Structure 1
Amino acid sequence: MICAICTPLSDWSGRPLRKVDRFPVEGANALWQVYRTVSRMKAVRNFIAIQLARYCPSLPAKNWIYRHVLGMKVGKNTAFALMVMVDVFFPERIKVGDNSVIGYNTTILTHEYLINEYRLGDVVIGSDVMIGANTTILPGVTIGDGAVVAAGSVVHKDVQPGTFVGGNPLRELQR
């Protein structure tokens, strides 16, 4: 499928927030049309694999599922805590570097199905990154190496390497 609108989403000043491809739809809202963009079998397989990984206490087993069943790029010694929810439709668009920690109940999305369009964007999480519990990471963002994201944050824009960010809206915090 060819993207009709391939522009980054931007804030009120025009600065790009996220790098997503935008696909307009006609008729019913985009979520009703989800199976035109991803096969039902892929969605079912991914859902089952993600649920297994969410409850799995073994970090090597989780990473094996993410790499070999879901097609994610997961670095060495990266740890996904209990209940992490990765994107069910496009998990292969997630890349996590080495030695990062993804906190309890974090959600990582690479898609957004809206009323008149759907959006897809890669999520890149660097090495030595700490993501706090209950964080939501939206499509099209990059979190740089060594960054720390406070628990309960909504990551709606790129995070520079080595910074400490948190909140909703996301902002840089003092260490």
Structure 2
Amino acid sequence: MRRTSRYPVKEANSLWHIYKTVPFWKVVKNFIVIQLARYTPFLPMKNWMYRHFLGMKVGEHTAFALMVMLDIMFPEKIQVGRNSVIGYNTTILAHEYLIKEYRLGDVIIGNGVMIGANTTILPGVIIGDGAIVSAGTLVYRDVPAGAFVGGNPMKVIYTKEEMVKRDKEEILTTNN
């Protein structure tokens, strides 16, 4: 289960109440910063913009590819560890506006994580250190450290333990 806080709304859908949940000028500033960063080819500058203007925690040597779309409303709820790669056109959300409620949740991406292109990460998800998320995946729940996941819906393709076992078997086979 994802870690989100739920906020019920009355009458109109929750998106209709958007500026009761997040200040208009914050959204404008975030939109401008995110759009500039989406197109900049300078990775250190992109990370600096995310840290200083959006309040995100971004680890050293982390690379956000071209066109990554961060949550415009609550980017400060996104944390990415060091030496991770966020693939082309990936979307990372920290909010969900639904009909009768909206939800907020931190997104935590560990160290040495590889996120494939065109992936969508939903709020309240933790992606463990060393995990690999294949391209086009909908990450709707936690990803264990070292796991390889993919698909829509997301499935664990193999875990770190299975990979270590395969590697040992391969070494034994090639040595014999």
Fold match, TM over 0.5? yes
Aligned to 2:83: 99
Aligned to 1:55: 39
Greater share of residues in helix:
2
Aligned to 1:128: 112
Structure 2: gaps spanning 5 or more residues: 164-176
For the residue of structure 2 that corresponds to 1:18, the secondary structure is: coil
1:40 pairs with 2:24 = yes
Rg larger in 1 or in 2? 2
1:148 pairs with 2:132 = yes
Give the drift of 1:81. Answer: 0.0
Alpha-carbon displacement from aligned partner over 1:44-87 (angstroms, at most 9, x marks no partner): 00000000000000000100110000000000000000000000
Distance in 2 (alpha carbons) for counterparts of 1:142 and 1:20: 12
Distance in 2 (alpha carbons) for counterparts of 1:68 and 1:18: 27
For the residue of structure 2 that corresponds to 1:62, the secondary structure is: helix
Distance in 2 (alpha carbons) for counterparts of 1:116 and 1:173: 35
Amino acid at match of 2:60: K
Give the drift of 1:114. Answer: 0.3
1:170 pairs with 2:151 = no
For the residue of structure 1 that corresponds to 2:123, the secondary structure is: coil
Distance in 1 (alpha carbons) for counterparts of 2:40 and 2:54: 15
Amino acid at match of 2:131: A
Structure 1: gaps spanning 5 or more residues: 1-16
Distance in 1 (alpha carbons) for counterparts of 2:143 and 2:16: 32
Distance in 2 (alpha carbons) for counterparts of 1:126 and 1:153: 17
Give the drift of 1:156. Answer: 0.1
Give the drift of 1:109. Answer: 0.1
Give the drift of 1:173. Answer: 1.1
Alpha-carbon displacement from aligned partner over 1:66-117 (angstroms, at most 9, x marks no partner): 0000000000000000000000000000000000000000000000000000
1:67 pairs with 2:51 = yes
Distance in 1 (alpha carbons) for counterparts of 2:32 and 2:11: 30
The list of structure 1 runs, each at least 4 consecutive aligned residues, that deviate by more than 6 angstroms after superposition, is none
1:161 pairs with 2:145 = yes
Distance in 2 (alpha carbons) for counterparts of 1:80 and 1:70: 15
Alignment RMSD, CA only? 0.7
Distance in 1 (alpha carbons) for counterparts of 2:10 and 2:48: 39
Q: Give the number of aligned pairs.
A: 159
1:23 pairs with 2:3 = no
Amino acid at match of 2:42: S
- Normalised by the length of structure 2, the TM-score is 0.89
Distance in 1 (alpha carbons) for counterparts of 2:52 and 2:77: 14
